[in-house]
Amino acid sequence: MNIEQEYINANALLDGHFLLASGNHSKRYLQSAKVLEDPKRAELICNALANTIEASGIKIDTVCAPALGGVLAGYELARSLGVRSIFVEKKDGGMELRRGFEVQKGENILICEDIITTGGSAMKAAKAIEELGANVVAFASLANRGFCKREGSTLEAKEECKLSSKIPFFALDDFTFEIFTPEECPLCKKGSIAIKPGSSNS
Ligand code: ZN
């Protein structure tokens, strides 16, 4: 699975001048909702991710996604793994399980995002699940923005990574785009204006 090619084919790997949620600027941006727009492509990608997770031998009972960004990837990954799919939602700076979803004590949960940047939302989801007595046994995302260490990659975790290093993280590839502070941004220096690519979650 060449995940970068799938993003390109789906017009989900954007070139331009982007203002990220962190306040920094970038020339490239992954619009992960777009890569899941075609259900056939979503199935193909999530099957590849499920194969990687299954090869690890880790037993997963349920996939839990932080809403909204992770919901589609989480649902499709759960289908590939043949397990239950639930999601948590934002509340007071954290996340909580609503809508009648439940987890059992000792249940093995995988937290799934569309993309992991620093892993902040994934860790909030993990905290909500652990507080209910279930076990968070893995993290997964389609793409890793290169701040956290995924299984099978030589790229080490950076200081910004919030994911627990004790829990394995599965993703299909690393996407390490250069980012610039607004002061150092070469595109700003040419007079271009950075645009928000349409997500608060990057
Ligand atoms: Zn800029």
pLDDT band (50, 70, 90) for residue 202: very low
Identify whether 143 is part of a domain.
Answer: yes
Distance 184 CA to ligand 1 centre (A): 8
* pTM (two decimals): 0.92
Distance 20 CA to ligand 1 centre (A): 10
Identify whether 99 is part of a domain.
Answer: yes
Q: In 32-189, at which residue ranges do the beta strands (DSSP E only) sit?
A: 62-66, 84-91, 94-97, 108-116, 135-144, 169-174, 179-180
Distance 158 CA to ligand 1 centre (A): 23
Identify whether 46 is part of a domain.
Answer: yes
Distance 30 CA to ligand 1 centre (A): 17
Distance 118 CA to ligand 1 centre (A): 21
Distance 15 CA to ligand 1 centre (A): 13
pLDDT band (50, 70, 90) for residue 199: low
CATH code (residue 124): 3.40.50.2020
CA distance 75 to 65: 8
Which position has the token pair 């389609």?
142
Name the domain count of the chain. Answer: 1
Domain residues for the domain of 128 are 39-176
Identify whether 19 is part of a domain.
Answer: no
| pLDDT tens digits for range 83-132 | 999 999 999 999 999 999 999 999 999 999 999 999 999 999 999 999 99
Distance 82 CA to ligand 1 centre (A): 43
At 30 the pLDDT is: 92
| pLDDT tens digits for range 26-68 | 999 999 899 999 999 999 999 999 999 999 999 999 999 999 9
